[in-house]
Amino acid sequence: MRQAMLTRRLALTEEARKQAAEGALLQVQTLLTGSERVMLYMPFRGELDTLMVARWLEEQGGEVVLPLTDRATRRLTPALVTSLDALRPAAYGILEPAPGSYEIVEPASLQAVIVPGAAFDLRGYRIGYGGGYYDRFLPQVSPACLTIGYGYDWQLVEAIDADPWDHPLCYVVTDRRCWRVPSQA
């Protein structure tokens, strides 16, 4: 399933990606209104774009946090961004804040985390990219933190075979809907 979803995502046109990002922004705004500190990802390989969300958060007076990726330990470190204009390609070619343009923050300080994935299911489980980065990171956030899967509507499927270390998300937001996971939110 991972490979089929990634292939489909890479085949999307720029216009389809832009329209989907605009639709998803409208869906996620309700969840994030009032959130002061939100971690999100910077898209790569056709992921649903979050830059619109980051800019909207800044306009609302919120703080944007991006993950710093440590390939050796396969861990994410949350970095409060001082400027979205100070991003540079880092691990895997994903944009991260440049040295001197961020402050490390505690995972427990996050009010919401927007999580990428290859697929999401109606129970809040996701298929990532196989590195386990978010599987290691999500247990560190507060139980009150909103965890939000973010993807195209066709990435939301009925069920995924979850592993024991998988952490279900509270919501899955797509370009067409905001799915509240019944037992998580």
Contact 81, 65 (CB under 8 A): yes
Cα(102)–Cα(177) distance, integer angstroms:
32
What tens digit of pLDDT does each residue of 45-85 get? 899 999 999 999 999 999 999 999 998 999 999 999 998 99
48 lies in some domain: yes
Mean pLDDT confidence for 118-136: 93
Is 80 exceeded by the pLDDT of residue 185?
A: no
Mean pLDDT confidence for 2-9: 90
Is 70 exceeded by the pLDDT of residue 30?
A: yes
Is 90 exceeded by the pLDDT of residue 133?
A: yes
In percent, the amount of the chain with pLDDT more than 90 equals 82
Counted domains in the chain: 1
3-class DSSP string for 41-72: CCCCCCCCCCHHHHHHHHHCCCEEEEEEEECC
Cβ within 8 Å of residue 26, ≥6 positions away = none
Output the pLDDT for position 93. Answer: 87
108 lies in some domain: yes
Contact 180, 171 (CB under 8 A): yes
Cα(161)–Cα(31) distance, integer angstroms:
27
50 lies in some domain: yes
Cα(117)–Cα(71) distance, integer angstroms:
18
Is 60 exceeded by the pLDDT of residue 132?
A: yes
Cα(177)–Cα(185) distance, integer angstroms:
15
**Boundaries of domain holding 23:** 2-180
Tokens 């329209």: give the residue. Answer: 19
Is 80 exceeded by the pLDDT of residue 184?
A: no
Mean pLDDT confidence for 18-28: 97
Is 50 exceeded by the pLDDT of residue 120?
A: yes
Cα(50)–Cα(114) distance, integer angstroms:
9
185 lies in some domain: no
pTM as predicted: 0.94
- CATH number for the domain spanning 45: value is 3.40.50.10420
34 lies in some domain: yes
Alpha-carbon Rg for the chain, nearest whole angstrom, is 15
94 lies in some domain: yes
81 lies in some domain: yes
What tens digit of pLDDT does each residue of 75-94 get? 999 999 998 999 999 988 89
